[in-house]
């Protein structure tokens, strides 16, 4: 084995050590969420009696890790104890993953809508509730549980999450929206040689509460094995990440806000509404759910495995509050706050929002809606 290989393995071990040390040092953000911002107070005045007199609608994914009858009984019991008079349940399907059910719940006068499922269910329900004035409660039952982690919800206990959804404080958070231009027929033909199932990102706004992106992050999410995720949870994404370490870089032009177009080469380009990932890894340390901005994140590496190891190491250390350990950097993270951004790539790349792969695109735009969603925690 060459010395370069040994160096790469050593760097990777350092990265994994930082990652698992970060597991024991998760940073709660509840105190931050209670602070005021330029968009007003996070902690909103809440008419509890008025909300409890309205229906509670629970939108649940039946294929997630719940026994449905037991779960319904738990929610009904705890809702009654909290003073709610009307509890309704709505099941998601592949065709209707939660957004339409959430919009219907708002139309029916719901005072609270609870999303019970993985990141996809939470994202879909949040999209349906955006700008509605109806609060979202979260019972996280998935693999990543990204928004729940960033809100520091008690994800190890279904009962505790139900209690938080029913009785927690109501706060306003920002919501991101992503759009993409449809691919041309020639672009789809070229993609078909690499991915026979390749499709354009659908038209319209795609809401995201945590992170949207294109490139490595979307490939990692899209290639994660479903069976492995059910067995070992978010660690399954690590296996997928390893398979995509040598993927082709993105060659693109980025425009942030009213700035000029900037050419870049990157492994991944992301739009972060908040910055915490599974395992205590912090992607964007300064990202806040209530600051009225999205963080444009450009990630690149050099030096093969060494660069990736350095990148993971530094994100793991960021989870422990260490932003500069003085070592040379072979993995690069460029961060910039903006209200909107656009990316035009030379070749189509996979696109994801909150862990849902939407398809391929070569032109994407992202923007933020400050205070666009009410959430319980």
Say whether pLDDT at 31 is over 80.
no
Say whether pLDDT at 13 is over 50.
no
Residue in the block written with tokens 């380009």: 269
Residue in the block written with tokens 């990692």: 220
pLDDT score at 329: 59
SS3 of the chain: helix, strand, coil, percent, to 5: 35, 30, 35
Residue in the block written with tokens 């912090």: 282
What DSSP element (H or E) covers 162? helix 158-167
Helix/strand/coil (H, E, C) string of 54-118?
CCEEEEECCCCCCCHHHHHHHHHHHHHHCCCCCEEEEECCCCCCCHHHHHHHHHCCCCEEEEEEC
Say whether pLDDT at 251 is over 90.
yes
Global pTM reads: 0.80
Token code pair at residue 283 = 């992607």
Task: For residues 295 and 130, give the distance between their C-alpha atoms in angstroms, rounded to a whole number.
Answer: 20
Task: For residues 350 and 367, give the distance between their C-alpha atoms in angstroms, rounded to a whole number.
Answer: 19
Say whether pLDDT at 46 is over 90.
no
36 or 359, greater pLDDT = 359
222 or 272, greater pLDDT = 272
pLDDT score at 238: 66
Task: For residues 122 and 138, give the distance between their C-alpha atoms in angstroms, rounded to a whole number.
Answer: 7
Say whether pLDDT at 32 is over 70.
no
315 or 79, greater pLDDT = 79
318 or 65, greater pLDDT = 65
Give the mean model confidence (pLDDT) for residues 117-146. Answer: 95
5 or 288, greater pLDDT = 288
Give the mean model confidence (pLDDT) for residues 268-284. Answer: 83
Burial class (CB in 10 A: 0-12, 13-18, 19+), 25: exposed
Say whether pLDDT at 18 is over 60.
no
Return mean pLDDT, the chain.
82
Task: For residues 269 and 265, give the distance between their C-alpha atoms in angstroms, rounded to a whole number.
Answer: 10
- In this structure, of 1-15, 44-58, 187-201, the range with the lowest mean pLDDT score is 1-15
Q: Which domains, from first to last, does the chain contain?
A: 3-21+176-371 (2.60.200.40), 47-168 (3.40.50.10330)
360 or 19, greater pLDDT = 360
> Which residues lie across from 375 on neighbouring strands?
136, 171
pLDDT score at 306: 57
pLDDT score at 25: 38
Give the mean model confidence (pLDDT) for residues 212-225. Answer: 82
pLDDT score at 186: 94
pLDDT score at 335: 86
């Amino acid at each position: 084995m060459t010395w370069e290989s040994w160096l790469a393995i050593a760097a990777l071990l350092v990265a994994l050590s930082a990652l698992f040390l970060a597991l024991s040092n998760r940073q709660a953000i509840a105190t931050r969420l209670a602070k005021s911002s330029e968009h007003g107070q996070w902690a909103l005045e809440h008419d509890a009696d008025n909300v409890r007199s309205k229906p509670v609608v629970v939108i649940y994914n039946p294929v997630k890790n719940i026994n449905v009858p037991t779960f319904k009984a738990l929610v009904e019991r705890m809702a009654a104890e909290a003073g709610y008079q009307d509890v309704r349940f709505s099941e998601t399907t592949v065709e209707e993953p939660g957004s339409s059910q959430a919009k219907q719940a708002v139309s029916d006068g719901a005072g609270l809508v609870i999303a019970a499922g993985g990141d996809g269910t939470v994202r879909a329900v949040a999209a349906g509730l955006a700008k509605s004035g109806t609060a979202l409660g979260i019972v996280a039952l998935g693999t990543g549980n990204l928004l729940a982690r960033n809100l520091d919800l008690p994800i190890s206990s279904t009962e505790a999450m139900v209690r938080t959804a029913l009785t927690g404080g109501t706060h306003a958070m920002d919501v991101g929206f992503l759009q993409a231009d449809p691919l041309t027929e020639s672009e789809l033909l070229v993609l078909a040689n690499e991915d026979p199932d390749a499709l354009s990102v659908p038209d319209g706004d795609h809401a995201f509460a945590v992170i949207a992106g294109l490139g490595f992050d979307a490939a990692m999410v899209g290639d994660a094995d479903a069976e492995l995720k059910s067995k070992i949870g978010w660690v399954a994404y690590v296996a997928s990440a390893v398979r995509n370490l040598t993927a082709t870089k993105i060659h693109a032009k980025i425009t942030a806000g009213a700035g000029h177009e900037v050419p870049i080469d990157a492994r991944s380009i992301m739009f972060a509404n908040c910055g915490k990932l599974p395992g205590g890894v912090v992607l964007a340390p300064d990202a806040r759910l209530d600051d009225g901005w999205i963080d444009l994140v450009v990630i690149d590496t050099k030096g093969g495995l060494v660069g990736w190891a350095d990148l993971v190491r530094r994100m793991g250390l960021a989870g422990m509050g260490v932003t500069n350990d003085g070592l040379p950097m072979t993995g690069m993270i460029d961060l910039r706050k903006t209200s909107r951004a656009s990316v035009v790539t030379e070749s189509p790349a996979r696109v994801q929002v909150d862990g849902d792969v939407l398809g391929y695109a070569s032109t994407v735009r992202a923007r933020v809606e400050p205070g666009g969603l009410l959430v319980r925690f």
